[in-house]
Amino acid sequence: MKSLSRLLVIIALTLSFRAVPQTPSPSRSSDHASDPQELFHEGEDALKKNNLDDAEQAFRAVLILDPRAGAAYANLGVIAMRRKQWPQALERLGKAESLMPQVPGIRLNVGLAYYRQNQFRAAIPPFESVVHELPHSYQARYLLGLCYFFTERYQEATTMLEPLWPQASSQLNYLYVLGIAAGKASRPDLEQRAIGRLIESGQGSPELHLLLGKAHINREEYDEAIKELDLAVKGDPKLPFVHFNLGTAYFKKQDLQRAKEEFLKDAALEPDVAYNYDQLGLVESLQGNNQAAERNLLKALRLDPHLGSSRYQLARVYQNQGKYQQALIEIDAAAKIDPDNSSVHYLRGQLLQRLGRIKEARVEMEATTRVMNEQRDKRQKELYGGPSPNPELTGEPQ
């Protein structure tokens, strides 16, 4: 699978200075230090070699000479993305987009900056704009389809992903996502075709058993899920996310101790995956271990500050400890991430009432009723909103 860094190099190359030619004024020195084109090429070469400090210095020098060099801002955004400095990346890409609105590669990077933070709703508009302009862009269409899938817009996910079948039907993740989306979008023909192709392509591999186990989890068939996931473990005990999904299956069966063991195993293999600590925090909280729960949830939020479930669970931990003001801070953050979640409104109402802010508490309880009524035809969310996390499906397209 193409790595993010390689992907960004390719995008950066599409934003070369040649795409927005600027002729130096006659008053400028011929020395390369005064030539924005030469400086840009220096930065481009450094970026290709992943010499980020040298590349940044060169692109900043370009901007001193030409403050409207959108391509320099775009590549500074790429550098920030490589460093996972997301706010800086989005700021720089925003400047580039304002100067070069005609370049879809910049909007693609904006979408990627949100996508790599698991902010799938925020990633949808820039990806949609790229697909609208470049309807045959495999990369943009695939990423947009995944964003629709992760935000439970299954009909749109199916529509976006189905045309990619000729290029992507050998990829297990693609077949899994398409099959699940098609099933939820009432497209049984496409669901059967995708799942059939998934089984055929997987050939009994650990990766296939992982995805089949995950499919059983989505159908609430937890015993069958555990059987498939155990087969995946036998084939590859270090397969990324297999223990995470086993933990999820055991959690759904209310076997909290087994769930904890599996999440710990996955955390040992994937120490930078926030979802493991998020789920460990939930398990510890349910077991009454508030200090351990707080420790895990704070670690999850250090890795992913936008993980609303961790904000919500941390608020509940503080509520259990009588730390109502701290709990309110966390639930306010959760409300910004997921404003239409009835559980968030309900807990916020409880906290406001505890703090003596009765009028505001009443407003929150009314919001809880409104949101629940809006979702009355949907299945109510368990504990905290949304489907099971899908960290193993977020890789960029091949």
pLDDT band at 369 (very low <50, low <70, confident <90, very high): confident
Same-fold call for 1-22+31-117 versus 275-378: yes
Give residue-wise pLDDT tens across range 90-119: 999 999 999 999 999 999 999 999 999 989
pLDDT band at 370 (very low <50, low <70, confident <90, very high): confident
Evaluate whether 319 touches 347 at the Cβ level (below 8 Å): yes
What CATH class has 275-378?
mainly alpha
pLDDT for residue 381 is more than 80: no
Instruction: Compute the distance between CA of residue 227 and CA of residue 13 in angstroms, rounded to an integer.
Output: 47
Instruction: Compute the distance between CA of residue 190 and CA of residue 168 in angstroms, rounded to an integer.
Output: 14
Instruction: Compute the distance between CA of residue 33 and CA of residue 62 in angstroms, rounded to an integer.
Output: 9
Question: Considering the entire predicted model, what is its pTM?
Answer: 0.78
pLDDT for residue 10 is more than 60: no
Give residue-wise pLDDT tens across range 172-231: 999 999 999 999 999 999 999 999 999 999 999 999 999 999 999 988 999 999 999 999
pLDDT in the model for residue 14? 38
For 151-180, the DSSP string reads: TT-HHHHHHHHGGGHHHHTT-HHHHHHHHH
Q: What is the mean pLDDT of the chain?
A: 87
Instruction: Compute the distance between CA of residue 49 and CA of residue 95 in angstroms, rounded to an integer.
Output: 25
Give residue-wise pLDDT tens across range 268-301: 999 999 999 999 999 999 999 999 999 999 999 9
Lowest-pLDDT range of 30-44, 82-96, 136-150, 161-175:
30-44
Look up residue 19 and give its DSSP letter.
G
Instruction: Compute the distance between CA of residue 27 and CA of residue 237 in angstroms, rounded to an integer.
Output: 66
pLDDT in the model for residue 32? 53
Evaluate whether 277 touches 267 at the Cβ level (below 8 Å): yes
pLDDT band at 19 (very low <50, low <70, confident <90, very high): very low
Give, to the nearest 10 degrees, the angle between helix 256-269 and helix 274-286: 160
156 vs 19, residue with greater confidence: 156
pLDDT in the model for residue 239? 95
pLDDT in the model for residue 50? 94
pLDDT in the model for residue 338? 87
Q: List CB contacts of 2: < 8 A, sequence separation 6 or more.
A: 396, 397, 398
82 vs 376, residue with greater confidence: 82
Mean pLDDT of 26-51: 77
pLDDT in the model for residue 209? 96
Mean pLDDT of 305-326: 95
Give residue-wise pLDDT tens across range 316-351: 999 999 999 999 999 999 999 888 888 999 999 999
pLDDT in the model for residue 371? 82
Mean pLDDT of 145-166: 96
Question: What percentage of the chain reaches a pLDDT higher than 90?
Answer: 79
pLDDT for residue 384 is more than 80: no
SS3 assignment, position 30:
coil
Instruction: Compute the distance between CA of residue 314 and CA of residue 303 in angstroms, rounded to an integer.
Output: 15
Four-way CATH pick for 1-22+31-117: 3.20.20.480, 1.10.10.60, 1.10.645.10, 1.25.40.10: 1.25.40.10
- What ranges do the domains of the chain cover? 1-22+31-117, 275-378
